[in-house]
Amino acid sequence: MVATDIDVHTPAPDPEDPIFALHRGGKMAITATVPLNNADDLSMSYTPGVAQVCEAIAADPEVAHEYTWVSNTVAVVTDGTAVLGLGDIGPAASMPVMEGKAVLFKQFGGVDAIPIALATTDPDEIVETIVRLAPSFGGINLEDISSPRCFEIERRLIERLDIPVFHDDQHGTAVVVLAALFNALRVTDRYIEDVKVVISGAGAAGVAITKILKTAGVTKIAIVDRSGVVHSSRGQLDEVKQWLADETADWARPGSVSDALSGADVFIGVSGGTVPEEAVASMAPDAIVFALANPQPEIHPDIANKYARVVATGRSDFPNQINNVLVFPGIFRGALDVRATRISEGMKLAAAQAIADLVGDELTESFIIPSPFDPRVAATVARAVTDTARREGLARRPY
């Protein structure tokens, strides 16, 4: 999404506003799972009884996953540099979003999540801080960290930790986009290896979508940023954009978004901005448009529906909402259930296929993706993840 400057004249919170009323005191709390009503309860939950559990863990650290909260708890970590559509608003202002993410983890996946906003934007400090916090958690969900720093931070954490590390802005978005694309291709009677895809946005989501689409079999991809198609002929590309240029060189050609969209089958927007109507009109018949920027899609559905067969957004007030909440609760539920050492590309592909398959025979142009409130979603994704983790040898709990 495009970062925006916060208006310094934003009015003070209105205590009568229902949104502020809902957020008063925060949206989450920690509650005990054991009784603490008498001296016996106290002696077992705390001293002296707790010493037995501590000694058992000291002798075998693996025991912690059975006798502490670690096996069901994820850290939701941000530095506040790329928060939703607000951009770099800092760690304190990011906390309502991180709390919201934690609530979604619990509601949809039964996963306990702790929001952690770090007062640093230095990748070295972020990595070292998370590594030191890691013994308290069974997984790390990175959130709203700006590109390209997010790629380095995730890579270094995966190298150093033996628990799942997942940057939801990258991989959650990519998984749900692929799930929706699987079904959009069914609706339009296309094969994934034949489609021409234009992705608007070369940040975290754009890179991850490119990777997962290529893994799934898409061969014709063009990435567009503010300067046009990402292509080696532009020169002075950073490491990430050079990778994108190399990965898409077989089909992408220099030009604007309008040039790229001419004859394209699929548009995926994860950037903000506006795509000209005439560019949408130039797409292939029965086109697929996923315009995911919030609150303003790159192509408004009223425009997209004139020319496209399948239209999706990131908004809840239009059909086909592509929402990360379909992904991350189930992926972490499954990874935690088998104590996976990491979240692999195979697990992401399996999650995408599982989400797509839930639509089943109800598939139509306006229903290509299940609702976030479909109670089957998280359990189905979790099962696909656990099965894949076992098959790939990434499960430490094989049963």
Residues serving a catalytic function are: 46, 101
Matching residue, tokens 């901005």: 273
Matching residue, tokens 């309008």: 258
Residues 6+ apart with CB under 8 A from 49: 43
Distance CA 293, CA 316 (A): 12
* Residue 349: how many other CB atoms lie within 10 Å: 18
Distance CA 369, CA 215 (A): 20
Residue 261 sits at the vertex; the CA angle it makes with 200 and 84, to the nearest 5 degrees, is 20
Whether the bond between 48 and the residue before it is cis, its omega within 30 degrees of 0, is: yes
Distance CA 295, CA 51 (A): 52
Distance CA 383, CA 330 (A): 8
The structure tokens listed for 216 are 């799934």
Distance CA 177, CA 398 (A): 30
Strands 196-200 and 266-269 come out as parallel
- Helix, strand, coil percentages in the chain from 3-state DSSP, rounded to 5: 45, 15, 40
Helix (H, G, I), strand (E, B) or coil at 233: helix
Helix (H, G, I), strand (E, B) or coil at 270: coil
The burial of 123, by beta-carbon neighbours within 10 Å (0-12 exposed, 13-18 middle, 19 or more buried), is given as middle
Largest CA distance in the chain: 75
Residue 270's closest CA among 99, 140, 147? 147
